């Protein structure tokens, strides 16, 4: 009985204590999920030996990559054998390149047949008064047919708009994780991209009624001044499009040494050189001989020499693309939106030349 009374009293005390104390709240589980943002960065890379030959067989352990000076951990290195190629070929059909067009056309068609494998795809654009897609993303056979269907014209040249359109096309249509390349056959001059044409018209409007008193030389100088200002801005815009599309830029300038004849030609070649340097490609400036002189014999010799030179350039590009690498890593660094993040890729253990994109624009 004593034990029973003690037990009852103890129970009553526990109940009283429970009602007398403030209940401890149940911890609330936050519905918000903490996310760790890791950005996959893709870096196409070409590696050549001192003789200019592509270096195959490298692995992740051979490469070193830094981001704003900080070493990054390479997640994967794909090779040309395992990573499909997505290439856009851009042909200038304006009068500035028409004498060489037949050789460009035939050699480019051969290049496509030699380089593209069953899983690779090519897209064909022409650079004329406006960007024109003449061959949508397709096989080597389809791309060859599109190339051979192109006819040169005497139109104005929308160089910037066409390069930008090709970069956008690859960004939207090329599968993720592919090697993206733009190959341009042009002198790089632009006379008709939307922003160039608008800048020229704005220059005329700014001159007002004074424009009616200008002679041809003064009018030309006004046109050139307006175009040059817009061209500098276009260079920045198009380069950003190439970087955002993870695209490597190659170019072949059919103008050869004659590109130095005027400032517009020089600026055009400088543009293509900048695009190539910053994306890891090459801007070729071959020494083509004239094929439209009064000397028929010399024209024939120059034609054969030009064809051989163009074929050699395409072979070099093809060799690089066949041994191109695609480095992928996850960046966990925090950068301001739109900041250009500088990259540096090396192969420390070998005496080789490495060409890769110089960086990327950070995105939220």
How does DSSP assign 47-81, residue by residue? EE-TTS-B-----GGG-EEEETTEE--EEEEEETT
- Give residue 96's pLDDT: 60
How are beta strands 353-356 and 325-331 bridged, if at all? unpaired
Cα angle for residues 330, 279, 235 (degrees, 5° grid)? 125
Cα–Cα distance list, 347 to 45, 228, 281 (Å): 11, 39, 17
Cα–Cα distance, 263 to 270 (Å, whole number)? 10
In the chain, where the domains are located? 30-80+323-364, 82-189+234-322
For the chain, give the percent of residues with pLDDT over 70: 87
- Average pLDDT on 289-294 reads 84
What single DSSP character describes residue 27? P
Q: Return the CATH number of the domain spanning residue range 82-189+234-322.
A: 3.40.50.410
Residue 71 pLDDT more than 50?
A: yes
Pick the closest to residue 153 from 123, 127, 186 (CA basis): 127
- As a CATH number, domain 30-80+323-364 is 2.60.40
Tell whether the model's pLDDT for residue 211 goes beyond 60: yes
pLDDT at 332: 81
What is the distance between the alpha carbons of residues 258 and 267, in angstroms, rounded to a whole number? 13
- State how far the Cα of 174 lies from the Cα of 193, in Å rounded to an integer: 25
Is pLDDT at 33 greater than 70 in this prediction? no
pLDDT digits (tens, 9 = 90+) for 150-159: 998 888 899 9
How much is the mean pLDDT over the chain?
85
């Amino acid at each position: 009985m004593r034990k029973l009374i003690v037990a009852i009293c103890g129970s009553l005390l526990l109940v009283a204590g429970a009602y007398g104390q403030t209940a401890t709240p149940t911890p609330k589980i936050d519905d918000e999920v903490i996310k760790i943002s890791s950005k996959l960065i893709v870096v196409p890379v070409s590696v050549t030996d001192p003789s200019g030959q592509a270096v195959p067989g490298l692995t992740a352990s051979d490469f070193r990559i830094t981001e704003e000076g900080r070493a990054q951990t390479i997640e994967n290195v794909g090779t040309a054998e395992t990573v499909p190629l997505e290439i856009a070929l851009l042909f200038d059909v304006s009068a500035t390149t028409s004498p060489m067009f037949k050789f460009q056309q035939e050699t480019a068609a051969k290049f496509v047949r030699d380089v593209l494998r069953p899983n690779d795809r090519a897209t064909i654009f022409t650079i004329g008064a406006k960007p024109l897609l003449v061959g949508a993303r397709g096989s080597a056979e389809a791309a060859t047919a599109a190339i051979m269907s192109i006819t040169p014209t005497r139109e104005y040249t929308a160089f910037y708009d066409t390069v930008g359109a090709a970069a956008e096309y690859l960004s939207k249509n090329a599968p993720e994780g592919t090697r993206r390349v733009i190959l341009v056959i042009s002198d790089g001059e632009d006379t008709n991209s939307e922003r160039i044409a608008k800048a020229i018209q704005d220059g005329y409007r700014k001159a007002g009624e004074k424009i009616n008193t200008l002679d041809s030389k003064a009018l030309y100088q006004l046109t050139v001044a307006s175009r040059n200002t817009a061209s500098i801005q276009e260079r920045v815009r198009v380069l950003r499009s190439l970087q955002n599309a993870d695209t490597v830029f190659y170019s072949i300038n059919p103008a050869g040494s004659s590109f130095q004849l005027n400032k517009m030609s020089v600026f055009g070649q400088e543009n293509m050189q900048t695009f190539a340097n910053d994306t890891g490609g090459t801007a070729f400036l071959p020494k083509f001989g004239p094929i439209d002189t009064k000397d028929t014999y010399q024209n024939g010799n120059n034609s054969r020499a030009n064809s051989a030179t163009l074929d050699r350039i395409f072979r070099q590009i093809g060799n690089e693309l066949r041994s191109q690498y695609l480095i992928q890593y996850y960046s966990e660094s925090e950068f301001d939106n739109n900041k250009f993040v500088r990259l540096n890729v090396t192969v420390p253990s070998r005496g080789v030349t490495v060409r890769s994109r110089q960086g990327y624009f950070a995105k939220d």
